[in-house]
Every structure is written in structure tokens, then in C-alpha cells.
Amino acid sequence: MLMMPVLDLQFGERIVTLMAALVLVLQIAMVSQRWIVLHIRIFAVQSLFLAMIAATIAWYNHAPHIYIAAVLTLVVKVILVPILFERLVTRMEIHEEIEPIVNVPLSVLIAGGLTLVGYVVAESFYRPDAPGVGHNALAVAISLFLIGFFTMINRRKALTQVLALLSLENGLFLAAISLTYGMPLIVELGILFDVLVAAMVLGILVYRIRETFESMDVSRLRRLRG
Amino acid sequence: MIERLMENAAQFLLLLVLSPLVTGVIRTLKARLQTRRGPGILQPYRDLRKLFSKGIVIPETASWIFTATPWVVFFSTILAGLMIPMVAAEAPLGLFGGVLAVIYLLGLGRFFLALSGMDSGSSFGGLGSSREMTISALAEPAMMLAIFTVAIGAGSTGLTEIAGAAIGIAGAAIGQNWRFLAPSQMFAFAALSLVLIAETGRIPVDNPDTHLELTMIHEAMILEYSGPYLALLEWAASIKQLVLMTLLINCFWPFGLQPTWFGFGAVEGICWLLAKLLLLSCAIVLLETVNAKMRLFRVPEMLAVAFTLGSLALISTFLF
């Protein structure tokens, strides 16, 4: 009887690790993706897994406030933000493919290398006796952060950069829930609304850039225009 | 000794009979999903019978390689098929090499196929050979990395050990502490699935139904073959598809594998195999229907993803 919760906790940890690995697979898929609509959908699925990770942690650690974070993630990142972006894509009639600065195979290999960096960094935070989901989820979180950052640098168009920023934020969320079982609810709420507002503002900004410069290529912003 | 021979014979028959069926099921399911009627799941058998009754035309420029290739391809594929666990965890021919022998037997077949493509003297053959070699040279490292990950998890490159570790042959509990839930297995599975698509010539990489010169890969190599030779090559291609699909499902989901081929267990094992194959076929059909064929120069991108996932899989087995 005494063993059961421990076993449960181990099983929960395995599930979380597995889903974290899936999140990482999706992040690498995002790096290699050329179609913006698919890119947005992969982001939605990734966020769905993130919400599931949060729910699993809440279930196995009996921490009800994480459920709220999970539901908020589901509503904001899986439903609202993708719908917002897909409408933006249809309104701006984007048909061309994403052209990264570094070519795709090399980008994917760099993403793999960044994952390694993530693991090496996470290793130094690992304490076998400390509570928490373990270094796997943290390593994935750091990798998500690094790959998201790299993707932002690697893209020319503003909209794809915003998507990379959001997947970077997914990494932060994963780090927060895996290390500390969630930040205080008010912080969590703040971050999610921040993301929502940022996505909306950036959406409008992207639209304006497009209207003014007739392109979303941010390198054109350097030019003066009277 | 007799038992071994019977096992071999049983798996040999299963490979021969089941492989056209898998091709037929995939075709029919795909047709239904695209709201066509489709030719029926037995059509590959009819095609084979028709081809076996036709005459053979051999190009004037062809050498002995052209006539030897169908036999080499067919028998190397069958041999590879006998070395994987299909119904029983213990493969009938698991004497040497394990999974490495399987992969390089398939490699031998591919090598001869590419040679014969060039041997026929047609420009399409050479084109097909060069494309096939480009893709397989990129797919092989990813495949090896994924396979090694699984082998490290099981502690052996023998397929019997890999599949058997999960079903309790060595006294381990079912699932061996949820081995297949580990992230490294996840990465390896993703990598191997991508490689499977490339190796079996499925749609994002190659279209098995086309004879359009811009896109065909496998079909271009066997363009000059006719009659029984073509039948052997077609049969070998569907056996290869069956072998790779079985390899994927029995490495990662070895549920329902029986300890041996004998007794009532074999029936249960065959049912499990069919169920798993059907599930995988559905996934392939879905993928083929929602995707358009990739441009040839985009294929390396997909295989780069597979390679990265494979190396992450291998590295992560050491990190955890």
C-alpha cells in the first residue's frame, strides 16, 4: 500500500518524459517545416502536449492549481493563438514557403546540436534526491528555449519569428512546471495573457509591416521610408 | 532440426502469401479514402499470375547482371524476411548477424537493382539508379542510428533478443519496465518511421504507382523488365515492404509475439501480426493521402530530420 503512490509517481514521471520527448520531436519538425499553416498547426499540437504534461503533473502530484495552468494553456495556445494566426495568414494571402537563412538540413542538425547543449546544461541542475520531474523535462525545456531562439534568428519573415518566439515561451512554461510544479497562479495567468496580448499585438504589427513595406521581410525595416 | 526447418518453411510461406495482400490492402484502403472503388485487395495476386504467364524481353545491351538481378533481389529479400521475428519472437534463421544482416541483405538487393538499372542501357534506368542510391545513402545512417538505439536498449543486435526482451522470454516482465516508453525509443521510432517511408518508396518520397519520368525512382530502375522477371521484382518489393513494416512493429510494439512457432500460439501470433500490420497500413494510407509527393531535392531535408532524430535517440540512451 505504501508503495503505490511511489510507483504511480514513477509512472507519471515516465509519461511526462515521453510527452516531453514528443514536444521536442515537434519542435524539430517545426524547424524543418516550410508551410506556414502546417507550422501553426504543429505549434498547436505542441502546446496541446504541453497542456497534457501540466495535467499529468497536476494529477500525480495532487496539485490542483496546475490544472488551471493546463486549461489556460489549452484555451490560449491550442485554440486562440492558432486561430488568430491562421486568420492572419488567410487575410494576408501568404502563399510562398518559409525561406530560412541557413538551409533546412543544416538547421535541423543545428537544432540537434542545441538539444545536446540543453542536456549538458540540464545535467548540472540535476539532484537525484531533490523533488521535481527530473532532468529530462528540464533538458527538453532548455532545448526548446535554445531551438526557439535559433529559429527566430534563422527566419526572415516577421510572422514566423513570432511563432518561434511562442515556441520559445513553451520551453519556459515547461521549465517552470517541471522544476517547481508551477509558478504561483497569478504569475501563470500573467504570462498567458501576456502571450495572448503579445500574439495579438504582434499580429497587428506584422500586418502593418506588410502593408507599409509590401513584405514581411524584417531586414527591409532598416531602410528609411518617408 | 526438423522443427527449425518447419519454422523456416512456415515463415517462408507467410512472407510469400502475406506480402501481396499487404500491398493490396494498402491500395484498396487508399482508393476508398479517396472515394474511388479500387481494384480489390486480391489484385496484386492476379497481377503476379498474369506476369508469370507472359514472355520475357531482354535488352540487347544487357549482360548477365540483368538476368541475375531478379533472383538475387528476390532471394536476398526472402532471406532477410526469414531473419526477423514475425509470429514467434525467435526468428527462424537467427543464426548470425541479427538486425545488421537483415539491413545489409536488403542493401545487397538494392545494389543489384541499381546495377541492373544501369545495365539495361536505357537512360531512365540510370536515372532511377542514381536517385535510389542518393536516397538510400542518406536513409541508411538514420536507420542504423535508430536500430542501434533499440539494440542498446535490448543489450543485443539479435532481433530475437530485441523482440524477446519485451515479452518475457528471458523472464522479464511484459514491457520490460516500460522500455518502449523511454524518450530514446520515441526518437528512434520517429526516425525509423521516416526511413521506412523512404525505403519502401511511399508517397512523400516516391510514388509506387507512377511511371512519370520526372518523379519515378523505383519504377525507373525496373522499367526494362517484363514477364516473370518483373513479377519477381514486384513480389520482392512487396516482401521488402512487409519485412520493413514487421521490423518496425515488432521492434517497438512486440505485443502478441509467441515464444515459438508451434501450437495454438501461432494462430494467436498471426492474428496479432495481422492486426498490427493493418494498423500500420492505415497510418501509411493516411500519410499518403494527405501529403503530396516531395520534390526530389526536398527528400534530403526529410532524411536530415530522420538522421537528427536517430542521433538524438542514440545519444539520449547514454544521457538518461
Give yes or no for B58 touching A (CB within 8 A): no
- pLDDT tens by residue, B37-79: 888 899 999 999 999 999 999 988 889 999 999 999 999 999 9
Whether residue A24 has pLDDT greater than 80:
yes
Residue A2 or A216, more confident: A216
Using CB atoms, pick whichever of B178, B301, B320 lies closest to residue A105. Answer: B301
> How many distinct structural domains can be found in chain B?
1
Q: CB-based contact (8 Å) between B173 and chain A?
A: no
B183, B304, B315: residue with CB nearest A108: B304
Mean of the per-residue pLDDT values for chain A? 81
Given a cut of 60, whether residue B192 has pLDDT beyond it is yes
- Choice among A181-190, B51-60, B164-173, B306-315 with the minimum mean pLDDT: B164-173
Measuring CA to CA, which residue among A45, A99, A113 is closest to residue A215? A99
Instruction: List C-alpha distances in Å: B109 to A105, B236, B303.
Output: 28, 9, 21
Distance from CA of A34 to the nearest CA of B (A): 10
Q: Give the span between the Cα atoms of B198 and B136, in whole angstroms.
A: 8
Give B-chain residues touching A21 at CB under 8 angstroms. Answer: 183, 186-187
Structural domain contains residue A222: no
For residue A197 the three cell numbers come to 496580448
- Res. B24: pLDDT tops 90: yes
Confidence of residue B169 (pLDDT cuts 50, 70, 90): very low
- B290 in reach of chain A (CB within 8 A): no
Q: What is the tally of structural domains in chain A?
A: 1
Residues 293-312 of B with CB under 8 A from A: 300-302, 304-305, 307-309, 311-312
Contact A22 B186 (CB under 8 A): yes
Please state, in angstroms and rounded to a whole number, the distance separating the CA atoms of residues A101 and A111: 14
- The domain in which residue A211 lies consists of 3-217
Whether the pLDDT of residue B309 is over 50: the answer is yes
Range of the domain at B127: 2-319
Q: Is the ipTM of this complex over 0.90?
A: no
pLDDT at B120 over 50: yes
Tens digit of each residue's pLDDT (9 = 90 or more) over A89-143: 888 777 777 878 888 889 988 998 999 898 888 877 776 665 555 667 888 899 9
Per-residue pLDDT for B154 more than 90?
no
| Mean pLDDT of the B137-141 span | 91
Asked whether the predicted pLDDT for residue A3 surpasses 50, the reply is: no
Q: What confidence tier does A197 reach under pLDDT thresholds 50, 70, 90?
A: confident
Residue A213, min C-alpha distance to chain B (Å): 31
- The one-letter amino acid at B133: M
Q: What pLDDT does residue B167 have?
A: 56
Q: Which residue has the higher pLDDT, A31 or B210?
A: A31
Average pLDDT over residues A43-59: 90
Chain A contact residues (CB < 8 Å to B) = 11, 14-15, 17-18, 20-22, 24-25, 28-29, 32, 104-106, 108-109, 111-112, 115-116, 119, 123, 136, 139
pTM (predicted TM-score): 0.84
> Taking Cα atoms as reference points, which of B65, B2, B11 lies closest to residue B239?
B11
Residue with the bigger pLDDT between A211 and B233: it is B233
Per-residue cell: B240:
521488402
B214 close to A (CB below 8 A): no
A226 is a domain residue: no
